[in-house]
């Protein structure tokens, strides 16, 4: 629909230009016709007529060429009044162009240059909470909304360069490219209804088949259905909250600890769980898991609690506190509990940012 409207506007503009050119040519023909036989007129050729029209339309008015006949002067008046109209049109068009460019930028039509970022489809209070957490850890986020009123609210709340907002119909897949959906690390489908989410994921995969999705479910029984549809992670919000609530009821200290490490560390003393991809620059590359565990604890007071590896099909497999001869390999993820101070040190040591990267680092 957007492309059809754009095409129609182009056709309308071309038609208006064509009509203008035809009228201009008719006026030039008439001017020469009325002036060529006058002894007082020097508009005796088309080149002179065009010159006169141009200096009149541009309000330069050299006065070297001018009409002398009554009908010629009437055409001259037309050119004179058209000159005022042309300037008005040009100023109006320029003002409209500037306003359009500003509005398009506000609505996100200029596009995003984010890579390995998160894309959130749909905006509501829950999306706001998720975005707060992502922004808190410095993650870039593209927010896609189909409500124009959301745009200013999002921009007012997040005045960070890490946030990009796009207003569009969710089914306009070409527009979704402006949000960098092809270069993102994860897509959070934040629609209202579980069925709507499932249908949307299936349709989106037809256009972007290598995306990874995460959804929250009202009905936890649909989890396997979503996983079969290609969703990387399907979480039941009720299941998570019920587990945390039950934990608070019989082991409150464990629950308190779990809740604190689920959110990002706001200070150097706060603890958090981070994951780091293993790149060529990682000093633990090729070393046994147990050796890395003790060294991280000794040097950075951080606890290695798991490692994520790829199976032969390329799927990620999380191994929690593994036993045996497990070595750290290129492209693995190290899952670590650490505080804000250790996090800053390990980012420099590992020479990578935290989080999941869609493309493995070589």
One domain for residues 280 and 232: no
DSSP notation for 97-165? HHHHHHHHHHTTTT-----S-EEEES-SHHHHHHHHHHHHTT--EEEEES-HHHHHHHHHH--STTEEE
Whether residue 112 is contained in a domain is answered as no
Whether residue 150 is contained in a domain is answered as yes
The tokens for 324 are: 């045996």
One domain for residues 72 and 122: no
Q: What is the structure's pLDDT at 305?
A: 94
Whether residue 74 is contained in a domain is answered as yes
On whether the CB atoms of residues 265 and 302 are closer than 8 A, the answer is no
Q: What is the structure's pLDDT at 204?
A: 92
Q: What is the structure's pLDDT at 243?
A: 78
On whether the CB atoms of residues 247 and 255 are closer than 8 A, the answer is yes
Whether residue 203 is contained in a domain is answered as yes
For residues 117-154, one letter each, b for 16 or more C-beta atoms within 10 angstroms of the residue's C-beta and e for the rest, the string is bbbbbbbeeebbebbeebbebebbbbbbbeeeebbeeb
One domain for residues 282 and 226: no
Q: What is the structure's pLDDT at 65?
A: 83
One domain for residues 224 and 316: no
How far apart are the C-alpha atoms of 130 and 120, rounded to whole Å? 9
The tokens for 354 are: 């935290």
One domain for residues 269 and 302: yes
How far apart are the C-alpha atoms of 89 and 85, rounded to whole Å? 6
Query: Mean pLDDT per segment of 10 residues, for the chain of length 362 residues?
Result: 62 81 87 84 85 81 81 85 75 82 89 91 92 86 94 89 92 92 92 92 89 88 87 82 81 84 77 92 94 95 93 84 90 93 92 78 48
CATH of the domain at 339: 3.30.70.1450
Q: What is the structure's pLDDT at 362?
A: 47
Q: Quote the domain boundaries for residue 20.
A: 2-106
CATH of the domain at 162: 3.40.50.720
Count of structural domains within the chain? 3
Whether residue 85 is contained in a domain is answered as yes
Q: What is the structure's pLDDT at 39?
A: 78
* Domain end among 240, 257, 292: 240
* Domain end among 206, 240, 274: 240
One domain for residues 136 and 99: no
One domain for residues 100 and 123: no
Rg (CA), the chain: 33
One domain for residues 174 and 283: no
Q: What is the structure's pLDDT at 5?
A: 59
Whether residue 258 is contained in a domain is answered as no
């Amino acid at each position: 629909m957007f492309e059809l409207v754009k095409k129609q506007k182009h056709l309308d503009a071309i038609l208006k230009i064509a009509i203008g050119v035809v009228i201009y040519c008719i006026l030039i023909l008439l001017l020469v016709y009325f002036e060529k036989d006058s002894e007082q007129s020097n508009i005796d050729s088309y080149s002179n007529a065009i010159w006169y029209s141009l200096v009149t339309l541009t309000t330069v008015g050299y006065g070297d060429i001018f009409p002398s006949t009554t009908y010629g002067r009437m055409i001259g008046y037309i050119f004179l009044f058209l000159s005022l109209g042309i300037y008005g049109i040009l100023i109006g068009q320029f003002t409209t162009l500037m306003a359009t460019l500003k509005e398009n930028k506000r609505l996100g039509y200029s596009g995003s240059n984010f890579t390995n970022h998160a894309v959130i489809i749909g905006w509501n209070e829950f999306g706001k909470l998720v975005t707060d957490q992502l922004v808190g850890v410095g993650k870039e986020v593209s927010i896609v909304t189909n409500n124009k009123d959301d745009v200013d609210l999002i921009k007012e709340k997040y005045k960070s360069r890490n946030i990009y907002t796009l207003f569009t119909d969710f089914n306009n897949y070409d527009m979704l490219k402006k949000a960098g959906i092809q270069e993102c690390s994860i897509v959070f489908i934040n629609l209202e209804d579980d069925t709507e989410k499932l249908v949307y994921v299936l349709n989106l995969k037809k256009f972007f088949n290598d995306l990874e999705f995460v959804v929250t479910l009202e009905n936890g029984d649909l989890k396997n259905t979503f996983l079969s549809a290609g969703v990387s992670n399907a979480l039941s919000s009720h299941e998570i909250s019920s587990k945390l609530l039950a934990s608070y009821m019989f082991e409150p200290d464990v629950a308190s600890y779990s809740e604190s490490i689920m959110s990002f560390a706001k200070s150097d003393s706060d603890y958090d769980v981070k994951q780091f991809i293993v790149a060529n620059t990682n000093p633990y590359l090729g070393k046994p898991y147990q050796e890395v565990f003790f060294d991280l604890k000794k040097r950075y007071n951080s606890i290695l609690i798991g490692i994520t590896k790829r199976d032969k099909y390329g799927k990620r497999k999380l191994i929690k506190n593994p036993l045996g001869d497990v070595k750290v390999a290129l492209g693995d993820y190290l899952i670590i509990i650490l505080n804000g101070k250790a996090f800053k040190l390990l980012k420099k040591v590992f020479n990578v940012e935290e989080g999941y990267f869609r493309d493995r680092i070589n």
